[in-house]
Amino acid sequence: MSAAAALGTYETLAVESASPGVAQVTLDRPDRLNALSFQMFEELGRLAARAATARELRALIITGAGRGFCAGLDLEDAKELQGMSAAEMLAGQERWVGALAAFRYLPVPVIAAINGPAAGAGLALALMADVRLAATTATFTTAFVRIGLTGGDAGMSWLLPRLVGLSHASELLLTAERFDAAKAERIGLVSRAVEPDALLADARELAATIASFNPFGVRLTKGVLQQNVDAPSLAAALETENRNQVLISRTADQREALDAFLERRPPVWSGS
């Protein structure tokens, strides 16, 4: 079974194979700039749950159909929020945000290929990725304060300061400034901005490179990065790194990697 087949099929998401071990998920509501409907939130949650256990999956690309990446919560669905009690709203909020956060917690790396506007919860989804590439035509905004909400939503108050620093994060959340890919690259929100025609090719090349390495090594690398970004000390970070290196050095795949390197051939991963 291919990595894409292992993720299932959906109405608001298009899933396809990008290369061996790499699946591409396209938010597929182009007439709404891929705005997040309640159905799309539910389908993203289901897809992430399947991705978390798909042994065939080595890397995941997320992008948008048409000219947008994701315009945030669909305002048609947002009308339903007004009739909810505080308890109902909290339950919904936890469910919707949980669907986005699930991509950060996946054991495999996630690459966001931001092809157009990324706003509000759409930007939050991009921030959940491990690596972000943007088309030069992409635009960004946190959006929330513009509609009377707190700027701290969908993990942004935690993710943005770690990506761009507290000063930039404060400005972006407090002003809901709309900014372009050049600024996103300059402040470190995206790894690089590329021409629109090159975006998916670059994302797929990056994903294929990651997928070519020892899957367990990649998984531990993602895990240690997420853990050590909040490590209380260098000593604590080193302890985690040392444990992981000892653990992986006892695996057959690590020995295969070394043998393949010395023999100048591609490694064959066994998952053991």
CATH number of the domain enclosing 66:
3.90.226.10
Mean pLDDT by groups of 10 residues along the chain of 272 residues:
89 95 97 95 96 95 97 81 81 89 96 97 96 97 81 88 95 93 97 97 97 93 93 93 90 85 86 78
Kindly report the pTM of this predicted structure: 0.93
Considering the domain architecture, whether residues 197 and 229 belong to the same structural domain is answered as no
Considering the domain architecture, whether residues 58 and 120 belong to the same structural domain is answered as yes
Considering the domain architecture, whether residues 174 and 244 belong to the same structural domain is answered as no
Considering the domain architecture, whether residues 135 and 241 belong to the same structural domain is answered as no
Considering the domain architecture, whether residues 205 and 233 belong to the same structural domain is answered as no
Task: Quote the pLDDT of residue 249.
Answer: 87
Considering the domain architecture, whether residues 90 and 121 belong to the same structural domain is answered as yes
Q: H/E/C letters for each residue in the chain? A: CCHHHHHCCCCCEEEEEEECCEEEEEECCHHHCCCECHHHHHHHHHHHHHHHHCCCCCEEEEEECCCCCECCECHHHHHHHHHCCHHHHHHHHHHHHHHHHHHHCCCCCEEEEECCCEECHHHHHHHHCCEEEEECCCEEECCHHHHCCCCCCCCHHHHHHHHHCHHHHHHHHHHCCCEEHHHHHHCCCCCEEECHHHHHHHHHHHHHHHHCCCHHHHHHHHHHHHHHCCCCCHHHHHHHHHHHHHHHHCCHHHHHHHHHHHHCCCCCCCCC
Task: Quote the pLDDT of residue 93.
Answer: 81
Considering the domain architecture, whether residues 203 and 186 belong to the same structural domain is answered as yes
Domain with 256 in it: 215-263
Task: Quote the pLDDT of residue 20.
Answer: 93
